[in-house]
Chain A
């Protein structure tokens, strides 16, 4: 090894530390201001989610599903493993896109990025978990293989192997044996998704569907398959579920189709 390369190797940890510190400063600048967020929250969120974040706002009582109670730090849509808190980016994605099929609308136009960060900082004050826990690292989503008839066929076999029909039914219509009597963490009745409707609450992209298999949906009966499904099986299952949607071409050419579901942004 030359003297020069030895010096670089010696310096590398110091450089890395500097880079990490710079990254941390950036991350802090990205954190919202909860005090500003309170103003945004009371204007746009409290009517449904309640001034105390308990989901008991005056307009929220007649909605299905009912508004999220923020006090447990439990969120369905996350990039993080089962049970983990969401990242700020996860919460912002829900704020930008809304949740299809629910009363939660998107705030892509209504709120600026800064306002979204502020209101996220405020929402996090409703649960003590955010003060003592950190979200786990987001799951890794490998590159999506092409959508093909073969993948869809293998995905149908994965649907059977993973016993998805127990809740989602043999035809994916949300009418499996265990579909009745399901409740969420708050004791509210909840039904398995009808996968043939053509739009999924957490997004129709391949990666959106893949993510749900691995993370599960916290607070609901939908469990994590992170330890039971392989990446290849999961992608085949994604393609099978996409094939159930009326928006997807049934005559597969091998090229990945562009999803056109209404849940997309």
Chain B
């Protein structure tokens, strides 16, 4: 009986492992010779809600008294910064990103606030501040700790692997509770983060029809269908609705 249970649980475990592997194996790398480009601008519909500046309550001698809210960073012509734009359900295409991404603790904020990454990439976490920070990435939906690294002094840096499974990661610094960053860890390399003019470009996309997702920390997520033709550039301009003021 006990052996039977062992076999059953072993079968369940390998089943779960197979499922996890299948989820990863959904993306196949192949040469893209005549891919298209998706580009566009993300804008906020209407005016950006006014959000009070961050009230700095710790290390005021270094961090200052207050920091302007970074949530809605709207640039020239209404472009919205820090929107992650990525293709969903794409099953084949160019190779995954392999460079080491960076997250800097600077002036008691994380930089960059939002970025994309691929499974298998590493992250260099560093501090330019003479105060203790801790970089504490968590699964954004469950809050489960991925790891929690102390950055006790200025100039410290360490490189760590990202989690083995794609997920939206929310990073916090417990020592300075206003510090947040987001990393969209994806299983495909078709992602971009909007710059200060709200613009994004995604290159080398195999011709086909896909779902383009735009995600913003406060305005939420919006899918847009997009059709890419060989060697052509398709423009997708996206409007996100601001969340109601908290």
28 CB contacts below 8 A, A to B, read: A35-B5, A82-B145, A82-B147, A132-B16, A161-B152, A162-B150, A162-B153, A163-B132, A167-B175, A177-B59, A178-B58, A178-B174, A178-B176, A180-B57, A182-B177, A185-B138, A185-B145, A216-B148, A218-B145, A219-B145, A223-B134, A223-B135, A223-B136, A223-B148, A224-B147, A224-B149, A228-B150, A228-B158
In angstroms, Cα B144 to Cα A24, docked, is: 30
Contact with B along A176-190 (1 / 0, CB 8 A): 011011110111000
Residues B148 and A218 in contact, CB atoms below 8 Å apart: yes
Q: Is B146 an interface residue (CB 8 A)?
A: yes
The 5 closest A-B pairs by CB, nearest first: A221-B174, A83-B147, A163-B132, A223-B150, A223-B134
Residues A128 and B16 in contact, CB atoms below 8 Å apart: yes
Q: Is B47 an interface residue (CB 8 A)?
A: no
**A179 → chain B, closest Cβ, in Å?**
9
Q: Is A131 an interface residue (CB 8 A)?
A: yes
Known contacts A178-B175, A221-B136, A221-B175, A162 near B152 by CB under 8 Å: yes
Q: Is A248 an interface residue (CB 8 A)?
A: no
In angstroms, Cα B148 to Cα A33, docked, is: 32
Q: Is B20 an interface residue (CB 8 A)?
A: yes
**A162 → chain B, closest Cβ, in Å?**
4
Residues A72 and B144 in contact, CB atoms below 8 Å apart: yes
Residues A185 and B132 in contact, CB atoms below 8 Å apart: no
Residues B177 and A181 in contact, CB atoms below 8 Å apart: yes
Residues A83 and B16 in contact, CB atoms below 8 Å apart: no
Contact with B along A93-132 (1 / 0, CB 8 A): 0000000000000000000000000000000000010011
The one of A163, A187, A220 in contact with B153, judged by C-beta atoms closer than 8 angstroms, is A163
**A55 → chain B, closest Cβ, in Å?**
14
**Segment 121-144 of B: residues with Cβ below 8 Å from A:** 131-132, 134-136, 138, 142-144
**B2 → chain A, closest Cβ, in Å?**
6
How many residues belonging to A are interface residues under a CB distance threshold of 8 Å? 39
Contact with B along A17-50 (1 / 0, CB 8 A): 0000000000000000111000000000000000
Residues B151 and A228 in contact, CB atoms below 8 Å apart: yes
Q: Is A222 an interface residue (CB 8 A)?
A: yes
Residues A224 and B132 in contact, CB atoms below 8 Å apart: no
Cβ–Cβ < 8 Å partners of B9 in chain A: 34
Cβ–Cβ < 8 Å partners of B134 in chain A: 221, 223
Residues B12 and A83 in contact, CB atoms below 8 Å apart: no
Q: Is A225 an interface residue (CB 8 A)?
A: yes
**A91 → chain B, closest Cβ, in Å?**
17
The one of A132, A166, A187 in contact with B143, judged by C-beta atoms closer than 8 angstroms, is A187
Contact with A along B204-225 (1 / 0, CB 8 A): 0000000000000000000000
Known contacts A131-B13, A178-B58, A74 near B153 by CB under 8 Å: no
Known contacts A33-B5, A177-B58, A221-B174, A163 near B152 by CB under 8 Å: yes
**B206 → chain A, closest Cβ, in Å?**
31
Known contacts A72-B144, A161-B153, A228-B156, A166 near B17 by CB under 8 Å: no
Known contacts A163-B132, A177-B58, A185-B143, A131 near B12 by CB under 8 Å: yes
The one of A34, A181, A222 in contact with B57, judged by C-beta atoms closer than 8 angstroms, is A181
**B64 → chain A, closest Cβ, in Å?**
14
In angstroms, Cα B150 to Cα A166, docked, is: 11
Cβ–Cβ < 8 Å partners of B16 in chain A: 128, 131-132
